[in-house]
Amino acid sequence: MPAYRPPHIPACEITPRAIFMSRRQFMGTAAASFVLAGAGGALAAPLTASPGPFATDETLTPKEAVTTYNNFYEFGTGKSDPSQNSQHFKPLPWSVKVDGMVGKPKEFGIEELMKLALEERTYRMRCVEGWSMVIPWIGFPLSAILDQVDPLGSAKYVSFETVVRPGEMSGQTGLFQPLEWPYIEGLRLDEARHPLTILAVGLYGETLLNQNGAPIRLVVPWKYGFKSIKSIVKISLVEEEPQTTWKNSNAREYGFYSNVNPAVDHPRWSQATEQRIGEGGFFKVANRPTLPFNGYGEQVAGLYEGMDLKANY
């Protein structure tokens, strides 16, 4: 079974400086055309948004770490693979189909989604591997599109699907396939409708880069990062709990709920503390206490009243 590997390399050492600098020089000239196109890709374009709720005032993780220290197995399992292998991925044209138990199924073009009221949401992100970041996302509440499709009373869960493109995603080719594709994630409908749950189209004032899930990805800040599925092409409202990729791959280690919980250890490591990427100088240590629901308990604990959160990991 594939398994997460705890990080050993500091994020700042991952992208060679020369590659990073040449990418930046390129950005200046190319940004204008991507603004017209409305979404990013291998290069980011400026994106404006109004300040949104729930912002943490904790120190932001440096943008270089957010864009070079990634998990996106469709481009490889190494932390630097997504930024290095996703240059030829095409996030445009793009659309997201919303179907299933809804009165008005709809396919949303990315241009239409980018015109929704965009907010900056600065959230903590805690990966199940034991590291965390603080990221200024730009996006809109998922409920903004769920409201448009008229969910039926029978809809209890929402399932999300990432694009499958072996021609552009090197992790989907070859003998070793770390996961089954498409990458699938899911939420209960009330989790999906929660105001903290967003679809992000940008970060740090720019459209998403391919490695971060261009052109559109989910962000659910009180759950482990693997729930925040990238490069979404389909959202389906369903009656039964969706068969999610990591749970299917190893149900003992990865649950459907996967709420951040310092009291429930991963079978192979403790979840009591975390390493904030960018902190701690040379000797990286996971010395920051992990908070229940990643610090969003006040907002979301009520969703799980009466549930045994140890059994329903």
Rule CB under 6 A: choose which of 73, 94, 123, 204 binds ligand MTE.
73
Residues 142-171 within binding reach of ligand MTE (CB under 6 A): 162
Stretch that binds ligand MTE, among 64-72, 91-99, 115-123, 148-156 (CB under 6 A): 64-72
Residue in 284, 266, 263 with CA at minimum distance from that of residue 275: 284
Q: Which is nearer to ligand MTE, 73 or 94 (CB)?
A: 73
x/- mask, ligand MTE, residues 195-224, rule CB under 6 A, reads -----------------xx-----------
- CB atoms under 10 Å from CB of 164, counted, come to 14
Element (H, E) at 122: strand 119-126
Q: Which is nearer to ligand MTE, 102 or 125 (CB)?
A: 125
**Helix, strand or coil, per DSSP, at residue 250:** coil
Rule CB under 6 A: choose which of 172, 228, 244, 259 binds ligand MTE.
228
Stretch that binds ligand MTE, among 37-45, 70-78, 286-294, 295-303 (CB under 6 A): 70-78
x/- mask, ligand MTE, residues 249-278, rule CB under 6 A, reads ------------------------------
- Told to check if 235 binds ligand MTE by CB under 6 A, we report no
**Whole-number minimum distance, CB 248 to ligand MTE, in Å?**
14
- Told to check if 229 binds ligand MTE by CB under 6 A, we report yes
Give CA–CA dist 41/13, Å, rounded.
Answer: 23
Torsion of CA 94, 203, 64, 12, to 10 degrees: -100
Residues 97-136 within binding reach of ligand MTE (CB under 6 A): 127
Beta bridge partners of 136: 122
Rule CB under 6 A: choose which of 151, 221, 225, 242 binds ligand MTE.
225
Give CA–CA dist 294/123, Å, rounded.
Answer: 10
Name the closest residue to ligand MTE (Cβ). Answer: 225
* Secondary structure (DSSP) of 271-299: -SEEEETT-SSSS----EEPPGGGGTHHH
**Helix, strand or coil, per DSSP, at residue 131:** strand
Give CA–CA dist 300/193, Å, rounded.
Answer: 11
Q: Which is nearer to ligand MTE, 140 or 151 (CB)?
A: 140
- Told to check if 230 binds ligand MTE by CB under 6 A, we report yes
- CB atoms under 10 Å from CB of 194, counted, come to 21
Q: Which is nearer to ligand MTE, 146 or 212 (CB)?
A: 212
**Whole-number minimum distance, CB 220 to ligand MTE, in Å?**
10
* Secondary structure (DSSP) of 140-209: EETHHHHHHH-B-TT--EEEEEE---TTT-GGGSSS--SS-SS-EEEEEHHHHHSTT-EEEEEETTEEPB
> CA of 21: how far to CAs of 18, 24, 26, 111, 264, in Å?
5, 5, 9, 30, 41
Rule CB under 6 A: choose which of 15, 70, 85, 258 binds ligand MTE.
70
- Told to check if 313 binds ligand MTE by CB under 6 A, we report no
Query: Which one-letter DSSP state was computed for residue 121?
Result: E
**Whole-number minimum distance, CB 89 to ligand MTE, in Å?**
12
Q: Which two tokens stand for residue 275?
A: 């390493």
- Told to check if 94 binds ligand MTE by CB under 6 A, we report no
Q: Which is nearer to ligand MTE, 101 or 118 (CB)?
A: 118
Which residues of the chain form contacts with ligand MTE (CB under 6 A)? 70-74, 127, 162, 183, 212-213, 225-226, 228-230
